Amino acid sequence: DSGVTQTPKHLITATGQRVTLRCSPRSGDLSVYWYQQSLDQGLQFLIQYYNGEERAKGNILERFSAQQFPDLHSELNLSSLELGDSALYFCASSVRTGKNTGELFFGEGSRLTVL
Amino acid sequence: AQSVTQLDSHVSVSEGTPVLLRCNYSSSYSPSLFWYVQHPNKGLQLLLKYTSAATLVKGINGFEAEFKKSETSFHLTKPSAHMSDAAEYFCVVSEMDSSYKLIFGSGTRLLVRP
């Protein structure tokens, strides 16, 4: 058990809809990362938050947004969903220090199916 | 930009035989490199990491990897495969900017035959 909790584990919805994925990082971790895993794109970095602030952005679509709340949990919002958004969405957390070794702790993912 | 290339999408071995999963990296700096494993329907788990200390890194479950700067490689090995090793393995490099985000290779699926 990594200590990172993601909900829901599975989600089925229709095209055009909006969903919210939630992540609770490990206790004490300030940094949250979101990744998307799909068959054709592999594991793609979406976005990172550190202590409530956006720190880095990757291949995140404009239809997607995220935030990190004062209690450090994070939410990834996916809107105007398309079939191609079907994927496994991972959240990971880490303690970001001056000499971060880069190890991330991953949740078990939220599997999104868009029909 | 940093990147990793996993040279095999699938590797199949017999139980009890050695495992070799190949990874080459591209980096302008001395990189931090990792191997992560993903079992079916599970999240990713860190196997081992290289952060410029010893070039031969030992990880969990008998896996190890050797950092070879001259070959820009970080291959993962295990002397004797076990059925439970069947999973997808990712070679990963850490971005050297302030984000420390991880850049994943495309993955190698390890099949272990009885």
HSE-up (13 A, CA, CB side) for residue A24:
6
Query: In angstroms, what separates the C-alpha of A8 from chain B's closest C-alpha?
Result: 14
- Residue of A90, A101, A107 lying closest to B51 (CB–CB): A101
Report residue A48's pLDDT band, with 50, 70 and 90 as the boundaries. very high
Beta-carbon pairs below 8 A across chains A and B: 59
Q: A45 and B44: CB-CB below 8 Å?
A: no
Which is more confident, B105 or A100?
B105
Query: Given this model, what pLDDT does residue A99 score?
Result: 46
Mean pLDDT of B97-109: 83
Instruction: Give residue-wise pLDDT tens across range A61-77.
Output: 999 999 999 999 999 99
List the single best residue of B99, B103, B106 to mutate versus A (max A Cβ within 10 A): B99
Which is more confident, A102 or B65?
B65
Query: Given this model, what pLDDT does residue A82 score?
Result: 97
